[in-house]
Amino acid sequence: MVKKQFIVILYFLVALIYIIAALLHNESLELIFKPIFIPILFFYYLEKVKKRISYWVLISLCFFYCGEMLTLIGADEFYLQSLVFFLIPYLIFLNIIGNDFLKLFKIEKFSLLNLSVILVACFLVFLLVSVINMLSITNVAESVLIIGYGISLVLMCLISVVFFAIKDCKSSFYALLTVMAFIVSDLFYIFNKKIDSNFVFHFVNLVTQILSYYFYIKFFILRAKNK
C-alpha cells in the first residue's frame, strides 16, 4: 500500500515540476520531467491490477505518450500528428465505456430520454458548435480532427453522465471525472492555441491534462477490480 501511494505522490510531484517548468518556459526541465509522468502511471497501473491487465489501456498510454513527446519536440511542427495520437485513446475509452454501458443497458430498466440527459446533450452540442465557430480553421485535416474530438467528447460525456446516474460507484465516478477533465483540458488547449495564448489558459490546460491521465488510470484500475 505504501509503495502504491508513493507512486501516486511521485506522479503528482513530477507533474507539478513539469507544470511549473512549462509555465516558466523552462525547456530543460520540461525535457527531463515531461517524459516521466506517463511511465509512472503505467507502472502504477501494473502494480494495482497485477495480472488483470487490459492491453487497450497499455496501447492508449502509448498513444498518449507519443502525443506528449511530439508536443515536446515540436508543438507546432507536429500539431496535427499529435492530435491524431491523442484522439486514438479517446476512441478507445469511448469504445470501452460504451460497451460497459450497453451491458448495463441490458440489465437495468431506465429511460434514456429523461430531461437531464436531454439538457446535457443540448448543452454539449451547443458548446461544440460554439467552439468550432470560434475557431478560424482552414486546414481540412485539422477541421476533421477537431470535429472528431468534439463528437467523441460529446458521446463520452453523455455515456458517463448516464452511467454514473444509474450506477453510482467509484468506477463510473472516475469515468465521469476523466471525461470532464478531457473536456476542460481540450477546451483550454484550443483557447490557448487558437484564441489567446495566456498564462491562465495554459495553466488550466496543463492541470486538467495531468488530472485526466490519473482519473483515466484510476477508472481502469477500478474497472479491473469489479470484473
pLDDT tens digits for range 14-31: 999 999 999 999 999 999
Give Cα separations from 181 to 51, 126, 162, 184, 186 (angstroms).
Answer: 28, 19, 17, 5, 8
Q: Of 62-66, 129-133, 136-140, which gets the smallest average pLDDT?
A: 129-133
* Spatial CA neighbour of 124 closest among 175, 70, 75, 180: 180
Quick one: residue 25, left, alpha or beta (phi over 0 = left, psi -120 to 50 = alpha)? left
pLDDT at 51: 77
The helix or strand, by DSSP H or E, that contains position 144, with its residue range, turns out to be helix 140-166
What number is the average pLDDT over the span 75-92? Answer: 92
Q: Is 150 helix (H, G, I), strand (E, B) or coil?
A: helix
What pTM was estimated for this model as a whole? 0.89
